[in-house]
Structure 1
Amino acid sequence: MKKNARGSLVRPDPLPDSASHPVVTPLSPSVVYASETPDMLDDQYEGRLHGYTYSREGHPNADVVAARLDAMEGVSGGIVTGSGMAAVTAVMLGLLDAGDHVVGGNQLYGRSMRLMNEDLPRLGIATTLADPGDAAAVAAALRPETRMLLVEVVSNPTLRVADIEGLAALCRERNILLAVDNTFTTPRGFRPFEHGADIVIHSLTKLLAGHSDVMLGYAVARDPALAEKLRVFAVTTGLTPSPFDCWLAERGMLSFELRFDRAQQTAAILADHLASLPGVTRVIYPLRADHPDHDRAKLLLNGQGCNMVSFELNGGRASANAFTRAADGLSFAPTLGDVGTTLSHPASSSHRVMSPAERKANGLSEGFFRVSVGLEDPDHLKSIFTDAVAAATAVRTDA
């Protein structure tokens, strides 16, 4: 790089060389990167040199995060996007064409469901929803033009466990891409590529970053050609992640395993406690013996229950309001994966776009809550939930 000997130009010289290096990854907010010659720029664009040109096409902080997640998932070539839904969009629109058909799990995240029900059909991509826990039901939904199956390992928010083994066998037989959203389970709980997945998606916003101050997504395909298609589509459509968010996400990922293990232990304790409380009619946690997919969860998740717990109050919206008001110290917020425990009410947040009848068919009543368990003391959490459930029950009794 040419040196600015007189110091008269607006832009400073590059950082000085150093025999040592920073322990913390530097934040690189620059939108543009300078090259010495057109030949060097050609070499970068054509893959003979590695370098950065324009941050929409890649930047160091995104590459650091992608490499870390690649290692966790046991693959290479992943991309980081500006949100989890950007990652889902990159997979759907980057790999599917008008005239294709895609099958989705019938209990996907609300915005993924909207993409399936409204946006993809508008663009000429046909969609069908089917129960991912029933490979036969998914097989019945397939068509000759089916190109992809999108499922969550553990569904949001009902925590049903997909029959990944059966679905992977079906996709291999029919030459269909299996895309797995691994956000709830994370690579700590499940590694989809080891079970036949072709594509893995994450909302980095959640457990991986873990502090509710980052919005990022991640997508990767096992096939390098498909991974490159994902990258090109993300660059073209500007699904670019913020360098600062990537820098924060890397920091969060350094403590991810410790946070995951602690939150998972507490989630199992809280699930059992909720089941003991009068006024709670249903508790959903994959490792509980009464979970409808308990045997599959034990086999597929290798004893990992993860940090999400869902439960249902015996009451309607008034009881739900009373519960959140009385849950002192817990955030009622439509997110998950924070260091603190958060409460989510699907009927008023993630699944509000569904009709009451659709929510009822999916088991999402006004009394249904999803809990993202954080790092609090388990006994303290038990006390909070005891008081909050009692408050909700009192409203129902008064009514």
Structure 2
Amino acid sequence: MEDRPNSTPSTLVRRTAFPDSVSRAVVTPLQPSVVYASPSPDALDAQYEGTAKGYTYAREGHPNAEVLASKIDMLEGAEGGLIVGSGMAAVAAVLMGLLKAGDHVVGGDQLYGRSLRMLTQDLPRFGINATFADPTDAEAMAAAIRPETRLILVEVVSNPTLRVADMEGIAALARDRGVLLMVDNTFTTPIGYKPFDHGADLVIHSVTKLLAGHSDVTLGYAAARNPEHRRAIYDFATTAGMTPSPYDCWMAERGLYTFPLRFGRAEANARALADHLAQLPGVETVIYPGRRDHPDHARARSLLGGRDGNMLSFVIGGGRAEANRMIEAVPQLAFAPTLGDVGTTVSHPASSSHRALTPGAREALGMTEGFFRVSVGIEEIDLLKADFSQALGAL
């Protein structure tokens, strides 16, 4: 076919604007675009200089991440929070964004296994060292502080031993010594505890877990009280390419809408399951902050206000053979190294999160081969009781 004279060329590629509408989408639109077009160099300058709102390149921020961050900010009483590609990316963004060679970190001695690895194996290669102390004892944390200490990192409820940190004492310590307090609030969630209300300078989450809640996204969140700290964390995360997937952000936002409902149901299940496990033959110890026999029960009451969460741990007698037998007896329960899903999952720290520690180091923290962590889901409680009765019956 001959071209018609004076006809306007047409193309399917990138020339059709998104349609305008006097109505708005009820669901947040998914924006997978990696790059955004600006009207002029001056307009692009204005975006980078902060005098105009806009997006440039997804590594530097995108709408779905911003929407999700704003909602978690609302839960945490924060502003300017940042979404990154995973919970460990959030840990790394804060530590690498704020620390320099010669700085020192005091960490709780029962942090998540990968956080421990970062502090003991990765950061020392950059001249940043760490010392660990019992977070249930503020005096022990104080004794670990050095002149070069810049930051304290704790979990409110430790993973997986569920000890409750002396947050009041640690916050006072950080304030008195001029040290930054960084809190991993993944286990506790903003329903149980809001670190910024209690003196924290920095808060992180593995959004993958309870906030998103369906084991189908991998994301992290980091927030800072100080705007200069926010900028430093953002700059490192952007440079290091810790970009979150727009699709994962969109899915996590959807999961967040049911977060309070899921948390309440799973917490009620955890309370009932902890009491059920305590009377089953073969169970040596049940660890749940809401139980009176928990070593930090009184502190949990005052600190968490009765929101004891969905996580529990328990210990059976024996070694790896007994651990295998128990798990193999309940194939319907997910044996998986995760937490916060709508369904109940069981994990074994010795073979997953804390496998990098020596057996002696694990036992010193109470994590024997018979130690299991349970992330309790929203199933019918009678079903869960039957599942765990079946599991323990195999012993």
TM category (shorter chain) comes to over 0.9
1:126 and 2:132 matched: no
Contact 1:307 1:373 (8 Å CA) reproduced? yes
Rate the CA distance shift 1:9–1:377 in 2: closer, same or farther, 3 A. closer
Partner residue in 2 for 1:357: 360
Q: How does 1:8-87 map to 2 (within 5 A)?
A: 8=11, 10-87=13-90
Match of 1:103 among 103, 106, 129: 106
Q: What is the deviation of 1:291? A: 0.4
What is the DSSP-based 3-state SS (H/G/I as helix, E as strand, rest coil) of the residue aligned with 1:388?
helix
Contact 1:183 1:202 (8 Å CA) reproduced? yes
- Hey, what's the Cα distance between the residues in 1 that align with 2:122 and 2:235? 21
Q: What is the deviation of 1:225? A: 1.2
For 1:337-375, what per-residue CA distance to the aligned partner results, in whole angstroms no more than 9, with x for missing partners?
A: 111000000000000000000001000000100000001
For 1:374-395, what per-residue CA distance to the aligned partner results, in whole angstroms no more than 9, with x for missing partners?
A: 011001100110110110x2xx
- Hey, what's the Cα distance between the residues in 2 that align with 1:390 and 1:70? 45
Question: Root-mean-square deviation (CA), in Å?
Answer: 0.9
Q: What is the deviation of 1:297? A: 0.4
Partner residue in 1 for 2:4: none
Match of 1:348 among 351, 359, 367: 351
Match of 2:255 among 230, 252, 261: 252
Letter in 1 for 2:171: A
1:197 and 2:200 matched: yes
Q: How does 1:304-315 map to 2 (within 5 A)?
A: 304-315=307-318
What is the DSSP-based 3-state SS (H/G/I as helix, E as strand, rest coil) of the residue aligned with 1:283?
strand
Partner residue in 1 for 2:393: 390
Q: What is the deviation of 1:13? A: 2.0
Q: How does 1:371-390 map to 2 (within 5 A)?
A: 371-390=374-393
Structure 1 gaps of 5+ residues are: 394-399
Contact 1:328 1:384 (8 Å CA) reproduced? no
Rate the CA distance shift 1:323–1:16 in 2: closer, same or farther, 3 A. same
- Hey, what's the Cα distance between the residues in 1 that align with 2:194 and 2:15? 45
- Hey, what's the Cα distance between the residues in 2 that align with 1:164 and 1:102? 17
Return structure 1 stretches of 4+ with deviation > 2 angstroms. 5-9
Quote the sequence identity (%): 65
Q: How does 1:218-233 map to 2 (within 5 A)?
A: 218-233=221-236
- Hey, what's the Cα distance between the residues in 2 that align with 1:14 and 1:253? 31
Contact 1:130 1:138 (8 Å CA) reproduced? yes
Letter in 2 for 1:111: R
Partner residue in 1 for 2:5: none
Structure 2 gaps of 5+ residues are: 1-7
For 1:195-249, what per-residue CA distance to the aligned partner results, in whole angstroms no more than 9, with x for missing partners?
A: 1110000000000000000000000001111111111111111111000100100
1:334 and 2:347 matched: no
Match of 2:290 among 272, 279, 287: 287
1:154 and 2:151 matched: no
Match of 1:316 among 312, 316, 319: 319
Give the count of matched residue pairs: 388
Q: What is the deviation of 1:159? A: 0.3
Q: What is the deviation of 1:9? A: 5.7
Letter in 2 for 1:189: G
- Hey, what's the Cα distance between the residues in 2 that align with 1:6 and 1:387? 71
For 1:267-324, what per-residue CA distance to the aligned partner results, in whole angstroms no more than 9, with x for missing partners?
A: 0000000000110000000010000100000000010110001000112111111111
- Hey, what's the Cα distance between the residues in 2 that align with 1:7 and 1:68? 42
- Hey, what's the Cα distance between the residues in 2 that align with 1:277 and 1:8? 70
- Hey, what's the Cα distance between the residues in 1 that align with 2:333 and 2:379? 10
Contact 1:284 1:311 (8 Å CA) reproduced? yes
Letter in 2 for 1:145: E
- Hey, what's the Cα distance between the residues in 1 that align with 2:80 and 2:168? 24
Q: What is the deviation of 1:14? A: 2.1
For 1:94-125, what per-residue CA distance to the aligned partner results, in whole angstroms no more than 9, with x for missing partners?
A: 00010000010000000000011111111100
- Hey, what's the Cα distance between the residues in 2 that align with 1:20 and 1:131? 55
- Hey, what's the Cα distance between the residues in 1 that align with 2:151 and 2:296? 24
Partner residue in 2 for 1:207: 210
What is the DSSP-based 3-state SS (H/G/I as helix, E as strand, rest coil) of the residue aligned with 1:149?
strand
- Hey, what's the Cα distance between the residues in 1 that align with 2:98 and 2:289? 32
Q: What is the deviation of 1:326? A: 1.2
For 1:135-170, what per-residue CA distance to the aligned partner results, in whole angstroms no more than 9, with x for missing partners?
A: 000100000010000000000000000001000000
